[in-house]
Amino acid sequence: MMHLLLFALISLIKTIGLIFVIILPMVSYTVYAERRVSAMIQDRLGPNRVGIPLTLFGFQKDIPFFGLVQPIADAVKLLLKEDFTPNHVNKFYYCLAPACAMAPSMMALAVIPFGSQLWGEPMVVANVNIGVLWVFAVSSLGVYGIVLAGWSSNSKYPFLGGIRSSSQMISYELSLALSVIPIFMICGTLNLPEIVRYQTVHGWLISPIWLNGISLFPPSINGQEIMRSFDFLKFLLWIPLFISFIVFTISMFAETNRLPFDLPEAETELVGGYHTEYSSMKFALFFLGEYAAMIVGSAVIVTLFFGGWHVPFLPTTLVDPYTFWGVILGLIHIAAFFFKVALLLFFFIWVRWTLPRFRYDQLMRLGWYFFIEIALVNVFIVAVILPFMRR
Amino acid sequence: MPYIVARPKLNFSEKAYLPAIFSGLGITLRHFLDILSGKKKVTMQYPEEKWDAKLPAHYRGAPTLVTDEYGRERCVACQLCEFICPPRAITIHPGEIPLENRWRKVEKFPQEFEIDMIRCIYCGLCEEVCPEQAIFLRKDYAITGLTRKEMVHDKKKLYEMGGVMTGLVNKWNDKK
Amino acid sequence: MSPLLFWIFAAIMLVFGGMVVIHRNPVASALSLVVSFLALAALFVSLDAYFIGVIQILVYAGAVMVLFLFIIMLLDLKAELRRRPNLPAVCGGFVVIFLFIVAIAEVSFRFQGGDASFQPIAQGPQGDIWHVGMILFQRYNIALQVVGTLILVASIGVVVLSKRELK
């Protein structure tokens, strides 16, 4: 009983720490980063004013602080706005939809290892064997929020947005799931912490240049073994893995409704798409849900391809994780994970402000004609290579 | 008769999108880095940096009234500006100049001259229409106030902003 | 997993299963079915069958029901009208329910293994996915290949049919 209580307490601390201390601030600062980066790409400056408002307390000047307080101002604005509910909507589903949009991305975080360990406790909320399947399952539920919003708003543009979103997400879920199968074939597990551990030994799946390479030969100090691990087979599996990285990343763009695939909310054609009829905090939930989905997507990409929390040239574990340096190492791993996520988020933003939106038939063509076929062939290639490497 | 535009034949690298996408990403990244490093500067940080010095002579800021070198108010309360003002921002209450005054022959002067700066559209028609060269659009553009009343410029305020304007035509001096 | 959670999830599943029939609005019915699926997935997880539970969510709640919803919305089905129940249909319904309950009671009273406790299957580091894979690809390999071919043929057939429709 005591053991169960302790387990529940630790899980609760991890969940709260992850979601409220790291992810939600990260979501709001991703919005800030989006505004700043987009501004700079367009030769503007973006919000750089909102700081500590000293003038409210009678001082001469505010401290601008690079506008880092902007997300708080945004949140206050969104919370204090009038929560307008149009008369023609289906009230219950109209209120349910924003929650359905936000919750799945938060749930998907449960299986992602965001650090190695702290005080011997693995830094993942739920260490389950189904790992990435859980992420796909939960994020596939995210479409309900958008579809419900589109349907319950009871007007044309949101409805079109909802319809587009549902067909887009179903189409790209296929290539999303198919493209990562090579990873599981190579690592032999679906468990995300295990995949990260595999990468700490064999090198990141995106670029296995250091460490042992994705050779599947057991690491050994025996001279012959090292010679063998340096042969060309070491990098042979890297080619299909790189293909699966590209397919997975692009499908992730489509799955999170980011430009160039943001057809469900295409402003120029559908006004605001599925959230046209929403205002105030309900709108904010859609907005934050989109960014949370983006963060989860980046976290999955980091976990699968960029070695998760692994920092090259740094030990993965110390002998005793309870010492000061053990804790520091654990914190460095957590920081490394979120640093990589932040870099990927920058990539997401960068792509958004570079590429124009696809047309709907182009989007569907890309998904059904190319990505699914590429992913299937990729699986086949890995299946052919693997028996030769296992020996 | 429809005009059919021939679709250009794309070669493989164009069909694959990726080269174009990467060159696009390169362009946006260059812009991002130029602004981030401060190499390129486009934006003027408004309250700290102003372009007041670079304003052209014909800039249309707030309309003001001017006095001439004799200290005479040039406005004769003809009410043409009030008449032409498109948003009807100007209100003039004319008065008669008393007999003993040096400028008796001008006959009229504005007892009250109000420009509602909430209504004013800075079109400059008042300046153009004025036969006495009494109203000018100056370079003040940051007209603010906390109440509606503050935003209505009365005669005193208008003369304060306009000041003295010399070298204008003085038709009332010569003919006695 | 404690029996309390089992009862909670079983109750959710049954209540929302009932709602599928009771609701007059087709969208509400479809969504109730989704909730019912989620509760069913929770029951699978309680049996340590994580893989089946997640596949339940991924395939049924995440894909099949989205398609259902998609179609319901596209066809713009209105809520059904309330009709007066006719007597023979109601009687027939009650008879069917009665027979169903009898059948369930018969099976559950005959079933001896209900009290026996079984070894958990999914032990070891590989977990239940490994077991599912082993069984599928060793014992039922031919059946699996046949089903796979069948689905392939079906999907090719769909493509051919939809292409012909376009002309």
Q: Do A355 and B36 touch (CB under 8 A)?
A: no
pLDDT at A222 over 70: no
CA distance C90 to C80: 18
Centre a 10 Å sphere on the Cβ of residue A171 and count the other Cβ atoms it contains: 20
For residue A122, whether the previous peptide bond is cis, meaning omega lies within 30 degrees of 0, is no
The pLDDT of residue C28: 84
State the smallest CA–CA distance between residue A164 and chain B in angstroms.
23
Residue A234 one-letter amino acid:
K
**A39-48, A246-255, A313-322, A344-353, range with the lowest pLDDT:** A313-322
State the smallest CA–CA distance between residue A259 and chain B in angstroms.
13
State the smallest CA–CA distance between residue A97 and chain C in angstroms.
12
Place A223 in a pLDDT band, splitting at 50, 70 and 90.
very low
CA distance C124 to A101: 36
Centre a 10 Å sphere on the Cβ of residue B82 and count the other Cβ atoms it contains: 20
CATH domain B56-175 topology: Alpha-Beta Plaits (3.30.70)
3-state secondary structure of C105: helix
Are there at least 3 beta-carbon pairs closer than 8 Å between C and B? no
The pLDDT of residue C125: 57
Please report all neighbours of C, defined by 3+ CB atom pairs within 8 A: A
Closest-CA residue to A300 (of A146, A106, A111, A171): A111
The pLDDT of residue C98: 92
Residue pLDDT, tens place only, A321-338: 677 777 788 888 888 888
Centre a 10 Å sphere on the Cβ of residue A344 and count the other Cβ atoms it contains: 22
Closest-CA residue to A237 (of A211, A200, A207, A210): A207
CATH dotted code for C1-106: 1.20.120.1200
More confidently predicted of C147 and A212: C147
Place A231 in a pLDDT band, splitting at 50, 70 and 90.
low
List the 105-164 stretch of A: residues with Cβ below 8 A of B: none
A33 close to B (CB below 8 A): no
A40 close to B (CB below 8 A): yes
The pLDDT of residue C121: 59
Ranges of chain C with pLDDT below 70: 1, 77, 79-80, 82, 113-127, 165-167
Place A227 in a pLDDT band, splitting at 50, 70 and 90.
very low
Q: Where are the domains of chain A?
A: 19-80, 88-389
Helix/strand/coil (H, E, C) string of C121-158? CCCCCCHHHHHHHHHHHHHCHHHHHHHHHHHHHHHHHH
Among B21, B35, B45, select the one facing A40 at the smallest CB separation.
B35
In contact, C60 and C39? CB cutoff 8 Å:
no
Q: Where are the domains of chain B?
A: 11-42, 56-175
pLDDT at A296 over 60: yes
The pLDDT of residue A190: 80
Q: Do C63 and A137 touch (CB under 8 A)?
A: no
Q: Do C58 and A144 touch (CB under 8 A)?
A: no
CA distance A229 to A218: 9
* Rg for chain B, CA atoms, rounded: 28
Ranges of chain B with pLDDT below 50: none
A72-81: Cβ within 8 A, 24+ apart: A72/A28, A74/A28, A74/A31, A75/A28, A75/A284, A78/A280, A78/A281, A78/A283, A78/A284, A79/A280, A79/A281, A79/A284, A81/A279, A81/A280, A81/A281
B21 close to A (CB below 8 A): yes
The pLDDT of residue A221: 42
Residue pLDDT, tens place only, A242-279: 888 888 988 888 888 887 888 777 777 777 778 888 88
ipTM above 0.85, yes or no: no
Residues of C in contact with A148 (CB under 8 A): 31
Residues of A in contact with B32 (CB under 8 A): 37, 40-41, 350
Q: Where are the domains of chain C?
A: 1-106, 122-167
With a pLDDT cut of 70, the percent of chain A lying above it is 89
The pLDDT of residue C116: 67
Give me the sign of the Cα torsion angle A346, A340, A32, A55. negative
pLDDT at A208 over 70: no
The pLDDT of residue A226: 46
